[in-house]
Amino acid sequence: MKVDRVTDYTMPKLAMAMNEGTISQWLVADGTFVKAGDPLATIETEKVAYDVESPHDGYFFASAQEGETFDCDALIGWFCPTDQAPTSQKDEFQQAQLAAERPTKSESAGSTQDAPKHTRIKVSPLAKKLAAQYGLNLVQIRGSGPGGRIVKRDVLMAVATLEKAVDDTKLVPGVSELARIPLSGVRGAIAQRTQESLLNSAQLTSNWESDITELLRVRADFVDRSEALGTRVSVNAFLAKALVYAVRQVPLANAVIEENDIVVRADINLGIAISKQGDTPYETSLIVGVLRNIQSLGLVELDIAMRKLIARVREGTATPEDVTGSTFTLSSTAGIGPAGLMSTPILNQPNVALLGPSTPIERPCVHEGEVSIRTMMPLSFTFDHRALDGEPAARFMSALDDALRHPHLMLA
């Protein structure tokens, strides 16, 4: 239905974890008539870029520029009943923006030596609020948003820098730098989320080895039929099936924490930690892709879906649904780290559990009363003690170990 009055258009919130978005491109010119469902803009978050559709029929006018970052629900445009721009409302919007960017009296008094008298500070409302809470001077914070705009992550990094500032972290004069990588964008998001995960949860890690000798024998049969199956079934697919088996024994492991509630999920949405190489050897990122309802997928289906998801993430074509809504996380270093490696992976909040498999190692073991060479896979299970006590965590690990040692259990 066509709008019958000037209607605000705000930055859409398309995922629970989305706090702000950057307008990468307007897909329509000012004054263009659009229908509900027509492509309107390309919005970038810290994880993916996606095209948003018009929610109304009407003539669209943008109040924000391409490259600008806004908090969710911030005004970025209008829908009008005619092709006449809402001039008065645009003026009000621009004046509000200038007021938000203008330093307060207290900020100006404390920064006369650091910046010119009429310097305008570009800052998001959330970042400004956080800076005030921590008593930080905005003039001294370097913005990583478009046009140098200060956003939430910049304030959090400034706080972290102040807390960790020590003399031995400074570069020694005369020592050259190989690279300098800003803690912003995806890298900044990873830094912020991993730090928050450790600060805001009671996580601990248990380590053990599972005998996967029989699993590898079963996998070899699937690999021999790769051409007929349409995929070379990976060990990660077997691990995912083992997780389904273990979650059925201990459903509490498939849960998320929402505010003051532990929410046990019925469907298993597996988060998979996927590494992505940047433009230089020093730039890498880690994105958690999400496979939904893996309890309903067969082994071959699961492997194909997993490969497609990884490809979308690494090619930059992942959708918001591809990177949100996990209920359990798999973070594997198998085939990358040294054989036998044990680790203590950090939880992917709000998930309460994460499995970290590492590169298998062959070692002599007692098997069925005799010493023989077996293939052992190191496993690290990190869990949030707020949701999982030691007893259910141990039962989960035992069930997982059973499935890996006896693959017929997970494939039944």
> What residue ranges define each of the domains in the chain, with the CATH number in brackets?
7-99 (2.40.50.100), 102-186 (4.10.320.10), 200-411 (3.30.559.10)
Give the model's pLDDT for residue 392: 96
Report angle CA 246, 250, 253 to the nearest 5 degrees. 90
Give the model's pLDDT for residue 120: 62
Catalytic residue among 38, 261, 385, 401: 385
Give the model's pLDDT for residue 170: 52
Give pTM, 2 decimals.
0.66
What is the Cα–Cα distance from 219 to 225, expressed in whole angstroms?
10
The question of whether 408 is a catalytic residue gets the answer no
Among 52, 55, 59, 54, residue whose Cα is nearest residue 6: 59
Choose the weakest-confidence range: 39-48, 298-307, 325-334.
Answer: 39-48
Is residue 214's pLDDT more than 60? Answer: yes
What is the Cα–Cα distance from 128 to 323, expressed in whole angstroms?
28
Predicted confidence band of residue 105 (pLDDT cuts 50, 70, 90): very low
Give the model's pLDDT for residue 167: 44
What does the pLDDT average to over 366-391?
A: 95
Phi/psi for 367 (5° steps) reads: -130, 120
Q: Which residues, other chains included, contact 123 with Cβ-Cβ below 8 Å and sequence gap of 6+?
A: 100, 101, 131, 138, 143, 149, 150, 151
Q: Which residues, other chains included, contact 55 with Cβ-Cβ below 8 Å and sequence gap of 6+?
A: 9, 36
Choose the weakest-confidence range: 105-114, 286-295, 382-391.
Answer: 105-114
Is residue 106's pLDDT more than 80? Answer: no
Give the model's pLDDT for residue 381: 97
Is residue 247's pLDDT more than 70? Answer: yes
- Orientation angle between helical segments 152-164 and 185-199, nearest 10 degrees: 60
Show the tokens assigned to 180.
Answer: 């300098």
Predicted confidence band of residue 89 (pLDDT cuts 50, 70, 90): low
Give the model's pLDDT for residue 278: 73
Strands 353-357, 328-330: pairing kind: parallel
Report angle CA 74, 75, 77 to the nearest 5 degrees. 145
Is residue 180's pLDDT more than 90? Answer: no
Residue 230, Ramachandran bin (φ over 0: left; ψ between -120 and 50: alpha; else beta) = left
What's at 204, amino acid-wise? L
Give the model's pLDDT for residue 98: 46
What does the pLDDT average to over 355-360?
A: 96
Give the model's pLDDT for residue 87: 64
Starting at the edge strand found earlier in the chain, the sheet holding 58-62 runs: 7-10, 75-80, 58-62, 32-34
Is residue 352's pLDDT more than 90? Answer: yes
Greater model confidence, 84 or 76: 76
Greater model confidence, 5 or 378: 378
Choose the weakest-confidence range: 52-61, 132-141, 261-270, 339-348.
Answer: 132-141
Choose the weakest-confidence range: 56-70, 125-139, 194-208, 322-336.
Answer: 125-139
What does the pLDDT average to over 274-291?
A: 84
Q: Chain-wide mean pLDDT for the chain? A: 85
Among 152, 282, 262, 272, residue whose Cα is nearest residue 202: 262
What does the pLDDT average to over 45-59?
A: 84
Choose the weakest-confidence range: 68-82, 89-103, 270-284, 384-398.
Answer: 89-103
Is residue 397's pLDDT more than 60? Answer: yes
| Pair 41, 27: CB distance under 8 Å | yes
Residue entry with tokens 């693959």: 407
Choose the weakest-confidence range: 138-142, 382-386, 401-405.
Answer: 138-142
Give the model's pLDDT for residue 257: 94
The question of whether 367 is a catalytic residue gets the answer no
Catalytic residue among 221, 389, 401, 402: 389
Give the model's pLDDT for residue 117: 41
